[in-house]
Amino acid sequence: MKLDFRLAEPTTDTESWSNADEEDFRYRVALGDLILEIGSKNFSTHWGWVPLIDLAASLRHIAKKLQHSGRTETFEFTESESWLRFSRQGDQVIITASYSPGEGQVEYSRFVDAVKKLSKQLRDELLQRNSALSENPAFQRLLPEEE
Amino acid sequence: MKNPGLRYLLAMLFLFIGSQPTTWAYQPYRAAGEVVLTEKAFRHIMERHWPDSTAAGAGKFQYGITEDSLRALINQAVQNGHSRINTNGRPGVIYEYDFHRQIGTNIDGQPATRLRVVVNKRNQVVTAFPF
């Protein structure tokens, strides 16, 4: 499973990040794309407007909800009807998307690890671009240093 | 209870309570008035969903849309649409309404008749797009 992100370049709004609130982080700033490949299935986006902090926070929320088998959680993209669906079946997570055919399957523990890794990498990348983010309470809440 | 006036009042009160619906539909942030479209939200919507926007993978409003007509669509959707709590811990409420006429195009470029509006706790529009 490859779970990653790509920041839309150039990021011209980095200065405004330090004063951003949760709504900004969820909808307006630090935009880019999701990279999600499972075997031969590719659920990556190529839109450039996916709010990446929201993506990471939402995936962590979903991973937590999928602790128990039988649960299904949906990630709705902020600016379209597109979605990603995650269904826990036994120790597997089945992933489907409205914008890409087929389904991917990954072990729950691997999914959790990938989400944690994505969050950490995104946090490090954004802090590198604007170190003042470390003082932003909404950023700290949505993308905490560790859990 | 010997006071007939008081007995009448109590009877009326019971009748009134009995006539009320037993359950109340949850309508979060369904204000009687209109939602607020801030300059920031308007710019956000224009950048992604205006007819001439180049943003990929996002619904677009029809040519001819104006700030006023957008505001009207949004208020109609909020006042008449289905509402649900925003997903995955995002704050605010989502409203969706089917106008049963084309208001734009969806991500596949097909005619879209529905509008999704996200409204925050301050009753301000966060985003809105056709789908």
pLDDT in the model for residue B5: 72
Contact B91 A46 (CB under 8 A): no
Q: Are A101 and A36 in contact (CB under 8 A)?
A: no
Tokens of B121: 């706790």
Binning chain B into helix, strand and coil, the percentages to the nearest 5 are: 30, 25, 45
Residue of B nearest to A58 (CA): B88
Please, which residues 45-64 of chain A have a Cβ atom closer than 8 Å to chain B? Answer: 45-49, 54, 57-58, 61-62
Chain A interface, best mutation among B44, B50, B87, B98, by max A CB count within 10 A? B87
What digits encode the pLDDT tens for the residues B9-54? Answer: 676 665 555 454 443 343 444 445 689 999 999 999 999 999 999 9
Tokens of B53: 């926007």
- Distance from C-alpha of A88 to C-alpha of A106, rounded to nearest angstrom: 10
pLDDT in the model for residue A147: 56
Q: What is the mean pLDDT of chain A?
A: 95
What phi-psi label fits residue A16: left (phi over 0), alpha (psi between -120 and 50 degrees) or beta?
Answer: alpha
How far is residue B55 CA from its own chain's centroid?
24
What ipTM does this complex have? Answer: 0.93
pLDDT in the model for residue B1: 56
DSSP A132: G
- Distance from C-alpha of A54 to C-alpha of B59, rounded to nearest angstrom: 20
Is pTM beyond 0.95? Reply is no
Minimal CA separation from A61 to chain B, in Å: 6
What digits encode the pLDDT tens for the residues B70-98? Answer: 999 999 999 999 999 999 999 999 999 99
- Distance from C-alpha of A73 to C-alpha of B131, rounded to nearest angstrom: 21
- Rounded to 10 degrees, the C-alpha dihedral B23/B25/B29/B33 comes to -100
Which residue in A44, A43, A93 sits closest to A65, CA to CA?
A93
Residue of A nearest to B55 (CA): A47
What digits encode the pLDDT tens for the residues A33-89? Answer: 999 999 999 999 999 999 999 999 999 999 999 999 999 999 999 999 999 999 999
Compare A84 and A11 and report the one with higher pLDDT: A84
Q: Are B117 and B74 in contact (CB under 8 A)?
A: yes
- Distance from C-alpha of B119 to C-alpha of B37, rounded to nearest angstrom: 10
**3-state secondary structure string, B73-98?**
HHHHHHHHCEEEECCCCCCCEEEEEE
What digits encode the pLDDT tens for the residues A88-145? Answer: 999 999 999 999 999 999 999 999 999 999 999 999 999 999 999 999 999 999 999 9
pLDDT in the model for residue B30: 46
